Structure 1
Amino acid sequence: MKKLTTILWVLWLSCSLVWAQQSGSIQGKIIDKSGEALIGATVMIDGTTKGTATDINGKFILSNLDYGNYTLLVSYVGYTTQTITAKLDDDMVSLGNIKLEGETHLEQVVISGSNKSEKITESPATIQLITDSDIEEIASFNPGELLSRVKGVDFIRSGVVGTGINIRGFNSNFNSKNLQINDGRLATLVATGLPFGPLTTQIKEDIERVEVVLGPNSALYGPNAHNGLVYTITKDPRTSEGTTFALGAGNQSMLTARLRHAQVLSDKLAFKVVGEYTKGKEFEYMDSVYIDRLDADGNLGADGSVEAYNELELDRNFEFMRGEAALYYSVTDEADLILSYGASNSTYLAPTNVGRNQIIDWRINHIHLKYNSPRFFAQIYRTGSKTDDTYSIDERTKQYYRLLDAGLSDAEARGEQSYASKAKFVDDSHRWNAEVQYNNEFNGYEFVVGGQWQRDFANSKGTYLLDGGGTQDIDIEQFGLYGQVQKVFGTSGFKAIAAFRADNHEVYGFNFVPKVGLLKIGKLSTWRLTYGQGIAAPTIMNMYGDLFSGLILGNGEGFTLEDGTLVEKQKVEKIKTFELGYKGQALENKLYVDADAYFNISTDFLSPVTAIGVVSKIGDQPIEQVQSGYAAYGGLVYSYVNFGKVNTYGIDLGLNYYFTDKVSAVFNYSYFNYSVDEDNLEDNDFNNDGVVNKLDVLVNAPNHKASLGMYYRGSKFFGNIFTRWVQEYDYFSSFQIAAKSQDLVYRGVPVVENARSKDAFNYGPLGGFVNVDLGMGYHINSNFTVSGQVSNLFDSKIREFTASPFIGRLYSVELKVKLPGIGSK
C-alpha cells in the first residue's frame, strides 16, 4: 500500500510539473473604430518588457507564454491605450478584434509644464505637441521643419539645413531666449548659449515627441527659458524594440541614411543605438561683404565709396554625422538607471549678426547618467563642444583684401594670415550639470522640489573669448533651487499651483523667479489663468567675448569711459507674463479649441552689439591690456548693455477638426504687438537719437501669422498639405537689416529697400509670403514605408532670415524599413 501511494504521488507530481510547464500563445487583431487594421500597434505584457507589434493585417501573436492570467497594454500613436485581460489555459487563445478609440487632445500627457508627467489640460502652461505620427510622416532628415506647424511660433528657415524658432517677439540672429532641452539635458552651446539646432546628436527616428512651451518657464527650468522652451523626448528601447533603417534623397544633392536599433536583453536590461549620415548643398547665395579699399594714393576707391565683394572661398556643402547609444537598467520594477552617450560632427553655413559663419567639423558630445523612479529623479551629465577651423566669412574676406592692399600675393592673402584679425573661431569648451528632484503628495497637496548645479568651462584658445589666449578656461558656476506645489479643491474642478526658482550666478548674482496659476478643469474643457516671470541671462559670449581684436568685448565687468563715465556690467533681462488659456472640445468630439491671450512686461533688455565709446578700463584693467587691437581702435569698444521697458501682448488660436477618424484639419492664428513709452528717453532711447521708435526696441516679429493644414491618416496611405502665411515685417539685428524704405536711419545709413545698408544689403522686409508644403506616403506592409515631401510647392520667392538665401522648392523621398525586435515575437 505504501509503495502504491508513493507511485501515485510521483505520477501526480509529474503531471503537475508537466502542466506547470505548459505554454501557449495569445493572438488577436487591433483595429480602429471603423474596423480598419492598425499596422505597427504595440502589445505589451504589463509589468514586463515582453511585447510585439501588429503586422500588415493588424494581427499580433505573443508566443511561448506559460499558462496563467495576463494583462496586456495595447497602444498606438494617436489612440487611447487599452488594457486587456487574458487567461491562457490552452495552446492558443484568441482575443478576436480589439478596437482602439482615437486619443483626444484632452488626454495627451506632457512633462514640460511641471517637470513631471501630467495631462496637458492640467498643465499650468501653454504647450504644443509634435507627435511620433507627425515625425514619422515627414520625409525629411530634419524634424525641425515641423516647428513651422506649431501654434504661436515664429518659424525661421535660413536654408536647406537651418531651421529655428522664436516665440513672442524680440528675435535676433543670435537668439538664446528659447531654451532647448533633450531628454532632460540642456542642449545649448557653452559659450554662446545658442540652441544646438543642426549640431544635435539625436536622429529623427529616435524622437518620441517634442513639447513646445509658449512663454516663460524659468521657474522650473532656469535662465533662458525666457520666451519659450523646446523639450525633446526620445524613445525607450523597451517599448520600441526593433531595427529601423531610413534612406532619403532630394534636390540640393541631399542624401541621408539613418539607423536605429533597440533591443531588450532581459527583464532588467535593454539598449539602443542610433546613427545618421547626411550631406547636401546649400541654396546658391552670395552675401555681400563691404570693404574700405584704398587706391595707390591711399584714398578710397574711384567713386569714394565702400566697395562690395563676394564671400571668400564660400563652401555651400553641408555634412552631418551623429549618433547616440543608451543602456537602460531596471533597478526595480519602478526604477530605472539610464546611461547614454551622444556625439555629432557638423559642417554647414550659419547666419550671424555679422554675415555668415563657415561651421567646419564642429563636434558636440555628451555623457549622461540618469536615475528615474516614481518619487525621485537624479541626473549628472557632461556636455562638450569643440571646433578648430570654424570662421567668420565676412571678417576673413575683409582681411584677405587688406592683405592684398598691403602687397601680399593672392596665395599669401588666402593663407593663415587671412584669419589674423580673429576671423577664426576655435572652441574647446565643456559643461557639467547635475540635478536632483523629489515629488510626493501630502494632505491633498502635490509638490515637486529640486536643485540644479551647473559649471561652465569655456575656452576659445584666445580666438573669440577673453580666456588669456586660451591658457585658462573661463570657469563659471551657478546653483538653482526650484519647487512647485499644486492643490485640487475637491470635486469643484479648481486647481491652484505655485512655483518658484532661486538662482545664484557667480557673475550676475541672485535672482528669484515666481509663478502662480489657477485652473478650472472640466470634463470637456479647461480654463487656465497664470502669472509668471522669466529671465534671459547674459551668455559667456555676452560677458567675456573678444571679437575682431577687441573691437567687440563682453560686458561682464563693466566699463569706465575716457571721460570717467561708468557703464554697468550686464544683468539679466526680465519678463513678467499674465496669461489666460483655454483648451476644450466641442461638436461631439469633432472640434478641439486651444487658445491663449497674454500680456508681457519686459525690462532690462540685453541689447544687441552697440557702441560703448572710447573706454579707459574694463573692470579694473586698463583697456590697452585687454584690447589686442588697441593700436588700431584706440579703446573704441562695442559691447552689450541693459536698457528699456516694453509691453507686448497677443493671442494664439488653434483649432483641430476631425471630419472622420482619418481626415482632420488644423487652423492656427497668432496676433502680436507691443507698446512703449516714447516719452521715456532715458530708458528707451537706446540709440540716443532723441526719438524712441522701433529701432530702439527691435521687436522683429510679424503682427499676424496663420496656417491651415489638411491631414489624411489611413492604415496604408497618409498625406497632408500645409499652408502658412506670414505678414511682412521689418527686421534689424546688429549689422543685419531687412526692411522696407522709410524715413529712418539705421547705423548711420537711411533705410532703403533693395539697397546697401552700412554693412549688409537690404533686400526688403522678411515675411510677406504664403508657403505651401505637400507630403504623402504609403505603408507597403508592416516593414516597408515609402514617402515624399515638397516644401515650398510653388517655388515662391521666400526669404525668412537675414544673411540667408531665398528659399526655393525643396523635395525629398524616403524609404523606411522596420524590422521587429529579436524578442518581440
Structure 2
Amino acid sequence: MLKKQLVMIVFTLAAITNYAQVKISGSVYDEYLEPFYNARISSGENIASSDEEGNFSIVLSSSTLPQTIVVSAFGFRSEEVTITSFDKKVNVVLKENLLLDQVVISASRVPERIIESPVTIERMGLSDIRKNTSNSFYDGLANLKGVNSREGSYGFKSINTRGFADFANTRFVQMVDGMDTAAQALSYSTGNFSGVSELDIQSVEILPGASSALYGANAYNGIMLLNTKNPFNHTGISTMIKSGYTSQETGGNNPFYDVAVRMGYKFNEAFAAKVNFSYFETEEWHANDLRNKEIDTNELIEGTVNSTPNYNGVNTYGDESYIDLILLDENIPWGTLLRKTGYTEAELIKNDFTSRNARFSGALYYRPFKNESLEIQFTSRLSLRDNLFQGISRLAQRGYYIGQHKLEVKGNNFYVRGYYTENDSGNSYDLTRTGGVLNNAANSFDYAIDFYDQRYNQGKSIEEARAFADRNRLVPNTSAFNTEFDRITKTLISDGGSKIYEKSSYTHLDGNYNFKSLLNNWADIQIGASYRNYNPESKGTLFNDKEEAVNIEEYGAYTQFQKKLFEERLKLTASIRYDKSDNFEGNYSPRFALNYALGEEKNHVLRASYQTGFRNPSIQEQYMFFSSQIKTNVGAVADNLSRISYPDSYYIRWDEQLGGYVFDTREVKGEELLNNSLLTRSVYFDTDTYTGDTYIETQYNELVPEVVKTFEVGYRSMFRLNNETNIDIDMNAFYSKHDNFVFYQDVTVPNGGEVYPYGNRQATAEELELPENRFSYVEDGVIVMNTAAYYAFSTGLVRDFTITTNANSQVESYGFGFGMHTKLFSNFDFGLNYNFIDFKYEDKDYGLFEPNFNTPKHTVKAQLGNENLFNNFGFGVSARWQDKYRWVSNFVKGDIPERTVIDAQLNYRIPSIKSRIKVGGTNLFGKEYYVAPGSGQIGQLYYVSWIINN
C-alpha cells in the first residue's frame, strides 16, 4: 500500500512540475528587423538566449497568466513583454540605448546608468564598435570626449586623459577583465599589444581623472576597463580578415595584414569556454626626424644634417656625447661643441621596420549552480611582438613576450581574483646606446683633434672636416659594421653593450564584497583589498639589480558607501582607500560625490565630486642606475642610493703638515647625490635657460609618490525634441592641484669636500678673511662649500648624475568638456564633442622643470553615420581637430602643429552568410602628422575587412 502511495505522489509531482514548466517561443530583431543574436531573455530565475536566427524558447517561472519576460542586450533598451497566451509567438524589437542610458560598472564598482554615474565616464559598447570608422576599436577610442591617443607606432597606442603623459604613460591604468596590462617593471600599459581581440571585445569604459579611491596606485589621470565577451552569452566561431596598405612619404606604400579568430562554446549550463587568436604584420611608420636638438635648450633646430659641429639629430643616435673645442684651442669660443656623426634609425634597425603582434587567449568558465550566482573563471593571455618604442630612448623591441594568467571567483555580491604576469624582453636593444658604442670604436679625443686640424689649421669646411674625422667610422652594411653591431646588440647594457634584459613578473590579488543584499538594499556598502608583489629582473640593464635583487610589495584596502535619498533623486557616494608600498609611506585617497536628478523622469542630473589620485614612481624611476654617454641616471629612493658607491674617487685636499695641496682618494656614496651636490646648471650654466645663481646646492629629497586633488562638476541630460528625436548631453568641468611631480634633475657631486645643503649659514668675518688657500667658497656672504669641494668643481674632479626626484614646483590643471549625441532623421547617428584643458605652475626649480603636459588645449570631434542607409548598406565618418601643443619628454622636446584627421568607412551586411564587409581609410585628405618629435610621421591607411558571425 505504501509503495502505491509513493508512486502516486511521484507521478503527481512530476505532472505538476511538467505543467509548471510551460515553454514559450519567440524571435528578437534589431531596429532594421534583422535577427538579433545573443539577446538575453529572462523569466524569474530562468534565462535563455536568442540563436543566430534571433529565435528563442524559455521556460516561464510559473503557469499562471499574465507573466512578464525581460529581453535585453548590452547597448540596447531592455523590453518587458507581457505574456497573455502560451500559444502565441512573441516578437520583440530591441532598440539602441541612448548613450547616457547605458549601464557601466567602473565608476562605482556596481552597475549603474551613465547618467547616474557620480563622476565623468566615457563608454564604447558593441554598437559603437560596430560603427567605428578607425582601423580598430582601440584606435576608435580617440573619438571619445576628453580621450587622447598617443600613436607611438602602428601597433602601439597609449590612451590617456587629463594630460601629463608621454608614450610611457605611468599615470593611467588599463585593465582587461580586471587584470592590469601594465608592463611589469616599467609600470605603463603596452596599449593593446597584450589586450583584446576585435572579435572578443564587449565594451570599454574610461574614467577620466583621479580614480585612486577605488583603483589604487597609478589611477592618477584615469583608468580604462576593457571587458570581453562571456562564452555563456556569446557562442560560435567568428573570424576577421583585414588587409590594406599604409602610405607615408618616407616609408612609401606598404601592405598590412590583420586576422583574428574567436571560438566560444557553451557545453551546458554549467561549463563554457572560449579561445582567441589574432595576428597583424605591417611596415612601421618610419621615424626620420633629422632636426637638431641642442643639448642645453633641448629645442629643435631646423637645419642640414651635420652642417654644424654641434649636430644632435632627433632620430640619429651616437651623436649625444660631445667635446668642447676650447679644450684644444683657448681662442675658440667657449661652448663650441663637437659631436660625432650619428647613425640613422634605419641604419640601426637594418631597414627592418616590420611591426608584428601575435596574441592568444583562452578561458574556461564554470557555474556550479548553473546560473550567474557563482562563476569561476580561469584565463590565460599570451602576446609576442616586434615593434619600435619611444621612452627615454628609442628601443627596438624584438621578440618581446607578455603572459598573464588569472583565476577569479565571483558571485552576485563579490569577487576574488588572483593573477600572475610575466614578461621577457627577448632580443630588444637601445638605439641610442647602440649608436654610442659603435661610435666609441674611434677614440673621441682623436676625432676632435682630426676635426680641429682640418677645420682650423687646414681651413676646410665643416662637412670636409667631419668627413676626414669620420674616415675610420664603421660604415653601415659593411661586414665590419655588421660584426660590431651584432656584438653590441647581443651584449647587455650593464656589460657595455645595448641589449636590454628583462624577465620580470608580479603577482596580484584583490577582492571586493558588497553588503547591499544583507542590508535589504538600504545602501550600497562595499569593502575591498589588494596585494601586489613585484619581482623585476634586468641584470643591471634597466634597474640597479646587477648585484642585489629588487623586490617590492604593495597593498591597499578601501570602502565605499552609496545611498539614494529623497525619492532616489539624491545620490551620495563616499569612498576612501589606503595604500602602502615598501619604499614609501602610506597614502589615503578619499572621494566624495553628490548627484541630484531633476525632472519627472529623473533624466536631468547635476553632479559634483572631490577626488584624489596618486602614483607610485615606476620601478625604473625608483631603481634606475645606468650610465648614458654623458651622465649616470639614478632613481632617488633610499634603497637604490644605498647600493651606489665609488670607492676610489680622486680629489685635491689641503695637507696641514705639508702646507700644500695633495691628491687623495675617498668613497663617494649614493646618498651624496642629495646631500652633497650642486645643480649641474649652476656649475656649468647657460644664461638662456638657467634662472638661478651659480653654485646652488641640490634642494631635493628622496623620491615620493605624486598626488593629485580634483574638484569636478557636471551635468547630464536626456530629452526629446519630438517623438522621433532624442538627445544626450554631457558636460563637465574640473580643477586639479598636483604635488610632487616626478622629473629628472641634473646634479654634480664633488669627489672631495663638502657642499652645504638646505639653508647655508652666513659666513663670519673671520672666515671671510681666511687666506686664499684655506677659504670656504662664499657667495653673497653665504658659505656654499668648503675648500676641497671648491677645487673639485674647479678642476673637474666631479661626477655628473641625472636623478629621478620630485619637483618643488606645484602644478595646477583645469578644463571643461561638452558632448552631445542624437539621431538625425530617425536613423542618422550624430555626435559632437569639445574639450578644453590647460595647466599652469609656479616655477620653484630654477627654470629646470617643465611638466610633460603633452596635450592640446582645444579638441573638437564629430561623428556621423547610418548603419542601414539602404539595403544593408551603411557608412560612418568621424573627424578630429586639435590645436598645436608642446611635447616634453626625456628624449626630446618640441612643438606639435595642429591637425585635422578624418576617418571614414562604408559597410555592407550579408545576412545570409552572417557577414559584414567594411572598406575604410584613416587620415583621409590630411597631411602626415606626428604625435611627438622622434616618432614616425603618420600618413594614410586604407583597409578592407570581412567579419563573419560577429
Q: Is the 8 A contact 2:747 2:802 kept in 1?
A: yes
Q: What's the CA shift for 1:241? A: 1.2
Q: Aligned partners of 1:275, 1:675: CA distance in 2, in Å?
A: 46
Q: Is the 8 A contact 2:873 2:908 kept in 1?
A: yes
Matches within 5 A, 1:253-652: 253-286=255-288, 287-289=315-317, 291=319, 304-311=338-345, 312-314=348-350, 315-332=352-369, 333=371, 334-354=373-393, 356-403=394-441, 409-418=480-489, 419=491, 421-441=496-516, 442=519, 444-469=522-547, 473-491=549-567, 493-522=569-598, 523-548=602-627, 551-557=632-638, 559-561=671-673, 563=676, 567-586=700-719, 587-588=721-722, 590-607=726-743, 609-614=744-749, 635-643=799-807, 644-652=809-817
SS in 2 for 1:243: strand
Q: What's the CA shift for 1:660? A: 4.3
Query: In the alignment, which of 895, 898, 906 is matched to residue 768 of structure 1?
Result: 898
Q: What's the CA shift for 1:686? A: 5.0
Q: What's the CA shift for 1:273? A: 0.8
SS in 1 for 2:118: coil
- CA 1:68/1:704 → structure 2, altered by over 3 Å: closer, same or farther? same
Q: What's the CA shift for 1:83? A: 3.9
Q: What's the CA shift for 1:613? A: 2.2
User: TM-score under structure 2 normalisation?
Assistant: 0.73
Q: Aligned partners of 1:377, 1:463: CA distance in 2, in Å?
A: 38
Q: Deviations over 1:134-183 (max 9, x none)?
A: 22344766422012111012222233222223322222343211111111
Q: Is the 8 A contact 1:49 1:238 kept in 2?
A: no
Q: Aligned partners of 2:745, 2:875: CA distance in 1, in Å?
A: 48
- CA 1:481/1:17 → structure 2, altered by over 3 Å: closer, same or farther? closer
Q: Deviations over 1:71-120 (max 9, x none)?
A: 7543345321224465896xxx5525323343123321111111222222
Q: Is the 8 A contact 2:878 2:903 kept in 1?
A: yes
Q: Aligned partners of 1:304, 1:196: CA distance in 2, in Å?
A: 37
User: TM-score under structure 1 normalisation?
Assistant: 0.84
SS in 1 for 2:426: strand
Q: Aligned partners of 2:610, 2:13: CA distance in 1, in Å?
A: 69
Q: Is the 8 A contact 1:359 1:391 kept in 2?
A: yes
Which residue is 1:685 aligned to?
846
Q: Aligned partners of 2:608, 2:261: CA distance in 1, in Å?
A: 44
Query: In the alignment, which of 882, 886, 889 is matched to residue 726 of structure 1?
Result: 882
Q: What's the CA shift for 1:200? A: 1.2
Q: Is the 8 A contact 1:604 1:642 kept in 2?
A: yes
SS in 2 for 1:702: coil
1:799 matches 2:930? yes
SS in 2 for 1:204: coil
Could you tell me which runs of 5 or more consecutive residues in structure 1 were left unpaired when the two chains were aligned: 618-631, 688-694, 740-765, 820-825
Which residue is 1:813 aligned to?
944
Letter in 2 for 1:258: A
Letter in 1 for 2:867: R
Letter in 2 for 1:82: E
Which residue is 2:785 aligned to?
none
Q: What's the CA shift for 1:189? A: 1.2
Q: What's the CA shift for 1:266? A: 1.3
Q: What's the CA shift for 1:254? A: 1.0
Q: What's the CA shift for 1:203? A: 1.1
Which residue is 1:785 aligned to?
916
Q: Aligned partners of 1:250, 1:189: CA distance in 2, in Å?
A: 30
Q: Aligned partners of 2:878, 2:135: CA distance in 1, in Å?
A: 18
Q: Aligned partners of 1:125, 1:777: CA distance in 2, in Å?
A: 35
Identical aligned pairs, as a percentage? 22
Q: CA RMSD in A?
A: 3.4
**Which structure: greater strand fraction?**
1
Q: Aligned partners of 1:63, 1:117: CA distance in 2, in Å?
A: 25
SS in 2 for 1:388: coil
Q: Is the 8 A contact 2:168 2:189 kept in 1?
A: no
Letter in 2 for 1:310: T
Letter in 2 for 1:776: L
Matches within 5 A, 1:136-285: 136-138=130-132, 142-251=136-245, 252-285=254-287
- CA 1:634/1:376 → structure 2, altered by over 3 Å: closer, same or farther? same
Q: Aligned partners of 1:511, 1:426: CA distance in 2, in Å?
A: 32
SS in 2 for 1:501: strand
Q: What's the CA shift for 1:50? A: 4.4
Larger Rg over CA atoms: 2
Letter in 2 for 1:425: I
Q: Is the 8 A contact 1:23 1:67 kept in 2?
A: yes
* Equivalenced residues, count: 748
- CA 1:445/1:292 → structure 2, altered by over 3 Å: closer, same or farther? closer
SS in 1 for 2:850: helix
SS in 2 for 1:515: strand
SS in 1 for 2:28: strand
Query: After the TM superposition, which of the residue ranges 535-544 and 779-788 deviates more from structure 2?
Result: 779-788
Could you tell me which runs of 5 or more consecutive residues in structure 2 were left unpaired when the two chains were aligned: 246-253, 289-314, 330-335, 445-471, 475-479, 642-670, 678-696, 753-795
- CA 1:107/1:131 → structure 2, altered by over 3 Å: closer, same or farther? same
SS in 1 for 2:911: coil
Q: Is the 8 A contact 1:380 1:432 kept in 2?
A: yes
Letter in 2 for 1:560: E
Which residue is 2:687 aligned to?
none
SS in 2 for 1:240: coil
Q: What's the CA shift for 1:274? A: 0.7
Letter in 1 for 2:227: I
Q: What's the CA shift for 1:784? A: 1.4
Which residue is 1:735 aligned to?
891
Q: What's the CA shift for 1:591? A: 1.4
- CA 1:293/1:724 → structure 2, altered by over 3 Å: closer, same or farther? closer
SS in 2 for 1:223: coil
SS in 2 for 1:106: helix
Which residue is 1:659 aligned to?
824
Query: After the TM superposition, which of the residue ranges 593-602 and 37-46 deviates more from structure 2?
Result: 37-46
- CA 1:616/1:323 → structure 2, altered by over 3 Å: closer, same or farther? farther
- CA 1:661/1:342 → structure 2, altered by over 3 Å: closer, same or farther? farther
Q: What's the CA shift for 1:19? A: 11
Q: What's the CA shift for 1:24? A: 10
- CA 1:405/1:65 → structure 2, altered by over 3 Å: closer, same or farther? farther
Q: What's the CA shift for 1:474? A: 1.3
Q: Aligned partners of 1:633, 1:213: CA distance in 2, in Å?
A: 51
Q: Aligned partners of 1:730, 1:13: CA distance in 2, in Å?
A: 80
